[in-house]
Amino acid sequence: MPELPEVETICRGIRPHILDKKFCDFWHSGKQLRWPIPIPAIKQHLLGQCVSTVTRRAKYLLVHFDNKALLAFHFGMTGNLGIFSKKYPRATHCHLAFTLDDKKELRYTDTRRFGAIKVFGEKEVPHIEETLFGKTGPEPFSQAFNADYLLKIAQTRKLAIKPFIMDTQVVAGVGNIYANEALFSSGIAPYREVNTLHREQWNTLIRKIRETLDQAIVCGGATISDYVNAAQGPGYFQMHFKVYGKAGEACQDCGTILEKIQIRGRASYFCRKCQK
DNA sequence: CAAGTTACCTGACGGC
DNA sequence: TGCCGTCAGGTAACTT
């Protein structure tokens, strides 16, 4: 899916197009996403309302309305949002479309339908930090994501570092691609058990996770497979991966052939010499 | 409680 | 050409 940088890119891309616009009508495909599309809540809380802000939390994109209601999108593996002219035919896997008062449409597409859409009314919104994000860890750019925190939660666990940093309860927004990239940049092997990492390594990893995500956001989100940014163009620049998808190629730092292994069922790419 | 496995769904790709 | 297996950005419900 869109990992954090892609969600951030979609967020920044659609924000100027929907800010202060009214949600006048909607259409849906009738297909289920991870959960059913909440038709009654859309009618009750969103129609006739204007967008006040558009934000991101973890891998969720959040559309806030003047009546305090909230529309939350999760993109799963293949979800995306875009602004289209009403005349432009809907894509095959478009599952939800909102007509705005400028006659344009905000369209959600999702080939694999692993994504999710939730609506919260005014009375539910104050509780989403417990309901929607109750088990979600700190944002990677927040002060709460620090070495003390990681040392504390890692000391009793023997999990490999890669699934650990991909765990949304540990830190929000780091998926498979950027976990691989940040670990390479940190010189830490993906299978390294978390209770063996020292404070200095955690500090390096925190810094590299932030740098990796930040660079990807600057690049407009990675351009991979069917991901297209909210402006419907490719990422502004091709995000350059150092290890992801590069098994069999030479490490850019030492020339060793990069390897691919499975960790917890996820493809993990690394350099055996540079990462310990 | 931690950690491993499976399921959800479609499409692209490689081998035969 | 087509059939089959494998794999893909994520998450949550299972089991061990």
**Is residue A219 packed enough to be buried (19+ CB in 10 Å), middle (13-18) or exposed (0-12)?**
middle
* A266 is a catalytic site residue: yes
Nucleotide nearest to A263 (CA to C1'): B4
The integer distance in angstroms from the CA atom of A122 to the C1' atom of B12 is 43
Q: Which nucleotides of C are covered by protein (CB under 7 A)?
A: 7-12
Q: DSSP letter for A59, please.
A: T
This prediction has a pTM of 0.94
Element (H, E) at A125: none
* pLDDT values of chain A reduced to their tens digit, one per residue, 276 residues: 589 999 999 998 899 999 999 999 999 999 999 999 999 999 999 999 999 999 999 999 999 999 999 999 999 999 999 999 999 999 999 999 999 999 999 999 999 999 999 999 999 999 999 899 999 999 999 999 999 999 999 999 999 999 999 999 999 999 999 999 999 999 999 999 999 999 999 999 999 999 999 999 888 765 544 445 555 554 444 568 999 999 999 999 999 999 999 999 999 999 999 999
* A259 is a catalytic site residue: no
A241 touches A226 (CB < 8 A) = no
The integer distance in angstroms from the CA atom of A151 to the C1' atom of C10 is 26
